[in-house]
Amino acid sequence: MIAIHETTPFDDQKPGTSGLRKKVPVFQKPRYVENFIQSIFDSLAGYRGRTLVVGGDGRFYNREVIQIVIKMALANGFGRVIVGQGGILSTPAVSHLIRKNEAFGGIVLSASHNPGGADGDFGIKYNAGNGGPANEKFTNAIFERSKAIDRYAIAEIGDVDLDEIGSSEIEGMTLEVVDPVADYAALMETLFDFDAIRAHVRGGFTIAFDAMHAVTGPYAVEILENRLGAAKGTARNAVPLPDFGGHHPDPNLVYAKELYDLMMSPDAPDFGAASDGDGDRNLIIGKDMYVAPSDSLAALAANMHLAPGYKDGPVGIARSMPTSAAADEVAKALGIDIYETPTGWKFFGSLLDAGKVTICGEESAGTGSDHVREKDGLWAVLLWLNILAVRKESVAEIMRDHWARYGRNYYSRHDYEAIDAAAANKLMDDLRGRLDTLSGQMFAGLAVAQADDFSYTDPVDNSVTEHQGIRILFEGGSRIVMRLSGTGTEGATLRVYIERYEPKDGHLDLDTQAALSDLIEAAEAIASIAKRTGRNAPSVIA
Ligand code: G16
C-alpha cells in the first residue's frame, strides 16, 4: 500500500561538502528525513525499476532511517534495493556495490568522522551510478527541491528484516540483504598482492589497526586477520557501536591518540593505522613515524606500481587544493598530470570517470583510486602494506627516502571548531575584501607574493565552482590557506592550512610545527584569528 503524505519544506536541507549533516534530533523531527529523501528522488530521472544501494556506518538512527529509505524507494518505484546486513556498509563498500551491480545510485547514511549517539551527528548522502558522491549541480537541485516539496510517498508496510542475508520480494520490489564485507574484500584481493603481505606478516611484521568502534571493524577482522593472517586482536575497537563507544571516530592525532602513543612507544608494532566512522578516511603511522595524509598520497602515488592492480603506475594524480603539493613533485618526476580540485571527493569523480587520474587524495585523511568513486580507508592501509611487503623497509625508511628524492612539504592544519558562525563568516569576508591589497605586504617576516579566492573549472565538464578557500602564497613557495569547513554541525569550523616546501638537500627532519612557526605567526597577523574567534589556540592540530 502506497501512501502519499502532505508535507511542508524545511529551509535547512542544503547538502554540504559531503551530503546533509545535522544533529540527530534535527533528523528526528517529523518528516525531516522523508522530505530530504523525497527531494533526492524528485531530483532524479529514469530510476523506475532500477536498483538502489543503501547502507550506513551503524551510528545511532541508522536502522530507523534505512527502514524509511527502503519504504520510500518502494513507493517511488525502484525495482530493487540492496542493503548491507544490519544496515551496515562502509562508504567505499557502497560505492563498489553500486558499480558492481550497475545500480542507479545509492544512499549512504553517515556523518563520517563526526561523533554519534542520540545527541551526536547523522547524515544522508546520495551517490550516483558511477558510485561517487553526487556532483554540485545535483546537490543544488536537491536543495532547490527541498525548499518546494509538498508531498512524499512511502509504502505503508511493517519494518523489513535487515539481519538475515538473502533476497525477498516486497510488493513487487526485490530486497537483497547482503554481507557488507564479502564483495569489498574480494575487490581488494584483485588489487593487492595478498600472498606477499601474508608472507611478510608470517615473517613477523606486526600491525595495529584501530577501527574506532566504527564501520571498518568487520572489514578489518576479515581482511587483516582472517585473510592476511595477522594476529587476532590486530583490529582493535572492532565492534561497530551506535555511539562509537562515546568517542569521536576521527582518525587524527587527537582522537586516535592511543594508537599514536603506541606507535611512538618502544612496544610499537611495525605498522599502525585507523579509519573513521564510515571507513573512507585513513591514518597511517609507522614505528616512530607519523605520515601526514598529504605525504601519504605522495608516497602511495610514487610506489603504487608495486601493487599488482596498479603495476603501470598512475596515469595522473588529483589532490584537493588545501592538500600539500607533495604529490605534485611525484607527478613531475613521473611526467604525469596533477589536478588541483576544491575540497570534497565529489570533485574527483569526473576526472576518475574520464580516466585522467588513477589516485586521488586529500589532506583530510582521504586517499583512494579508480577502483571505486569514494576515498577508501582500508584500501590505503592495504596499499601501504603491499608496498611495505615488497620493499621490506620500515615506514620511516620509506618516508625519509621519499623526502630525499622529492623534498619535503612541511604541512599542518589548524582547526578552530564550533566557533561563532557570524564571526567566522566575517573573518573570511574581511579577508576576501583585502585580497587585492595583500600582495607585497610582509607578515612575520614573510612577503606575500599572491593572494586569491580559489575557483575551479572542471576540465571534463567545464563546470565552475567558486569561493573554495583563500590562498595566500608567499615568496619562496610557502602558503597559507583558510576556508570554512562544510561538514560541521555546530557553529562554524575555521581551517587554516599551512605549508612550506623544503628542497631535497635541505633540512628534512625538522619538527613540523617548528618548521612552520613563522607561517603560523603570519596567519595570525593576517587574519587576527585569536581576536575574532575568541580562541587562543586551535582545537585540533593535524
Ligand atoms: C568530507 C569530504 C572530503 C573533505 C572532508 C572535509 O569527508 O568527503 O572530501 O575533505 O569532508 O571537508 P571540510 O573541510 O569541508 O570539513 P568525510 O570523510 O567527512 O566524508
By C-alpha distance, which of 82, 68, 55, 87 is closest to 152?
A: 68
Q: Cα(205) to centroid of ligand 1, in Å?
A: 32
**Longest pairwise C-alpha distance within the chain:** 72
pLDDT of residue 1 exceeding 90, the answer is no
Ligand 1: residue whose CA is nearest its atom 19: 112
Q: What's the mean per-residue pLDDT of the chain?
A: 96
Q: Cα(488) to centroid of ligand 1, in Å?
A: 9
Ligand 1: residue whose CA is nearest its atom 3: 344
Give the ligand 1 atom nearest the CA of 345: 9
Give the ligand 1 atom nearest the CA of 347: 9
Q: State whether the beta carbon of 110 lies less than 6 angstroms from ligand 1.
A: no
What nine digits make up the cell of 295?
605525504
Give the ligand 1 atom nearest the CA of 91: 20
Share of the chain above pLDDT 90, in %: 97
pLDDT of residue 490 exceeding 90, the answer is no
Q: State whether the beta carbon of 21 lies less than 6 angstroms from ligand 1.
A: no
The pLDDT, as a whole number, for residue 488 is: 80
Q: Ligand 1 pocket test: which of 248, 297, 345, 360 has the largest number of ligand atoms within 8 Å of its C-beta?
A: 345
pLDDT of residue 233 exceeding 90, the answer is yes
Ligand 1: residue whose CA is nearest its atom 4: 344
Whole-number Å distance between alpha carbons of 471 and 451: 5
pLDDT of residue 263 exceeding 90, the answer is yes
Mean per-residue pLDDT, 256-266: 97
Those residues with Cβ within 8 angstroms of residue 24's Cβ, 6 or more apart along the chain or in another chain:
60, 61, 117, 118, 119, 120, 121, 122
- pLDDT band, residue 122 (cuts 50/70/90): very high
Q: Cα(164) to centroid of ligand 1, in Å?
A: 33
DSSP letter assigned to residue 321: T
DSSP letter assigned to residue 19: B
By C-alpha distance, which of 296, 211, 301, 307 is closest to 259?
A: 211
* Least confident stretch, 16-20, 131-135, 155-159, 351-355: 16-20
Tens-place pLDDT, residues 520-534? 999 999 999 999 999
Q: State whether the beta carbon of 413 lies less than 6 angstroms from ligand 1.
A: no
Q: Are 239 and 216 in contact (CB under 8 A)?
A: no
pLDDT of residue 17 exceeding 90, the answer is no
The pLDDT, as a whole number, for residue 101 is: 98
Tell me whether strands 51-56 and 105-109 are parallel, antiparallel or unpaired: parallel
Q: Cα(517) to centroid of ligand 1, in Å?
A: 26
Tens-place pLDDT, residues 169-189? 999 999 999 999 999 999 999
Tens-place pLDDT, residues 289-320? 999 999 999 999 999 999 999 999 999 999 99
Whole-number Å distance between alpha carbons of 516 and 33: 44
The pLDDT, as a whole number, for residue 477 is: 87
Tens-place pLDDT, residues 434-481? 999 999 999 999 999 999 999 999 999 999 999 999 999 999 889 999
Give the ligand 1 atom nearest the CA of 375: 8
Q: State whether the beta carbon of 296 lies less than 6 angstroms from ligand 1.
A: no
Tell me whether strands 207-210 and 289-291 are parallel, antiparallel or unpaired: unpaired
For 14, counting Cβ atoms within 10 Å of its Cβ (0-12 exposed, 13-18 middle, 19+ buried), the class is middle
Mean per-residue pLDDT, 84-107: 98
Q: Of 39, 110, 112, 364, which residue is the catalytic one?
A: 112
Domains of the chain: 2-179 (3.40.120.10), 184-406 (3.40.120.10), 408-541 (3.30.310.50)
Mean per-residue pLDDT, 315-327: 98
Ligand 1: residue whose CA is nearest its atom 7: 18
Those residues with Cβ within 8 angstroms of residue 79's Cβ, 6 or more apart along the chain or in another chain:
48, 49, 50, 51, 173, 174
User: ∠ at Cα 140 (136, 141), nearest 5°?
Assistant: 120
Mean per-residue pLDDT, 389-395: 98
Give the ligand 1 atom nearest the CA of 277: 18
Those residues with Cβ within 8 angstroms of residue 420's Cβ, 6 or more apart along the chain or in another chain:
491, 492, 533, 534
455 is catalytic: no
pLDDT of residue 283 exceeding 90, the answer is yes
CA end-to-end span of the chain: 51
Tens-place pLDDT, residues 375-389? 999 999 999 999 999
